[in-house]
Structure 1
Amino acid sequence: MALTVSQVTLYVDDQQRAVDFWTGKLDFTVTTDMPYGDDRWIEVEPPGGGTRLVLIKAAPDWPAPVKGMPHYVLFEADDIVRTCEELVARGVEFVQQPQHQPWGWSAVFKDDEGHQFHLGQR
């Protein structure tokens, strides 16, 4: 059996701000943007395809993610140091600069909603 991950849902406070971050700073492409109740169903995809992020508007009564902790979504790059430099130049904030760990390279960046994500090296 060969399974893949097609989507990961990311709950956001401001859908347009999230779209602007992922498309403007990380070069993701909007693949779906349609009405979804009072809000929108938005999917963004990384350059070259792959697992899509679904940017869903969080309801006011939903619990907030644990602040200050990275989501367990790992993005990968061929050259983590060069990628971090490019992303910083685009305005992406890193809360942990690239560090070599026993298991490999790791960094943590933050989106404009305050979510944190891991960046590793292939």
Structure 2
Amino acid sequence: MITGISITQIYVLDQEQALDFYVGKLGFEVQTDQQFGPMRFLTVALPGDPGHAVLLELPAPPAVSPELADTVRDVVTKGAGGGHLFLTTDDARKAHAELRGKGVDLPEEPVEQPYGIDFGLRDPFGNSVRVAQMTPPPAP
């Protein structure tokens, strides 16, 4: 039976720019950076969570055909590429302030929701990122 998720994939248009954002701004660490034939297999993971990595993949062969690559790039830049990351934090307001201090464009302020406090942003390519401070479930 399936027991977990090891890698999630999002399309990025420039892997070096993706590293600057995900590692330099969000605090991920490079997990794998290998050249496999025509593609660079580049994964990042959060410190302390090496079991779940994010593949920062270019929309190019072998992921998509050469005929579709331009279309995928266009869709990604419009924020419709399907890339979504949902991240958690212990303190959403502090995380928001730290990201703003690192120059991350933050169109939303932290908002109290029924499940906790969260805010959203987009990576440099249009992928959606949400950061949430989850409210602990009520005791039974």
Cα 1:66–1:15 shift into 2, 3 Å: closer
Structure 1: where are the runs of 5+ without partners?
none
1:84 alignment counterpart? 96
1:119 alignment counterpart? 131
* Greater Cα offset, 64-73 or 76-85: 64-73
Cα 1:120–1:5 shift into 2, 3 Å: same
Cα distance in 2 for residues equivalent to 1:90 and 1:5: 30
SS in structure 2 at match of 1:95: coil
Cα distance in 2 for residues equivalent to 1:66 and 1:12: 9
Q: 1:91-106 alignment to 2 at 5 Å?
A: 91-106=103-118
TM-score (norm 2): 0.76
1:40 alignment counterpart? 40
Structure 2: where are the runs of 5+ without partners?
61-68, 135-140
SS in structure 2 at match of 1:18: helix
* Greater Cα offset, 76-85 or 61-70: 61-70
SS in structure 2 at match of 1:42: strand
2:59 alignment counterpart? 58
Cα 1:38–1:2 shift into 2, 3 Å: closer
Q: 1:61-72 alignment to 2 at 5 Å?
A: 61-63=70-72, 64-65=75-76, 67-68=78-79, 71-72=83-84
SS in structure 1 at match of 2:110: strand
* Greater Cα offset, 64-73 or 107-116: 64-73
Q: Percent identity between the aligned chains?
A: 32
Larger CA Rg, structure 1 vs 2: 2
Cα 1:30–1:108 shift into 2, 3 Å: same
Cα distance in 2 for residues equivalent to 1:8 and 1:121: 21
Higher helix share: 2
Extract structure 1 runs of 4+ deviating beyond 4 A.
68-71
Alignment RMSD, CA only?
2.2
Aligned residues: 122
Higher strand share: 1
Cα distance in 1 for residues equivalent to 2:49 and 2:23: 13
**Aligned residue identity for 1:67:** K
Match of 2:122 among 107, 110, 113: 110
**1:17 touches 1:113 (CA, 8 Å); kept in 2?**
no
Q: Deviations over 1:33-83 (max 9, x none)?
A: 011332310010112224211011112245324834684421000010001
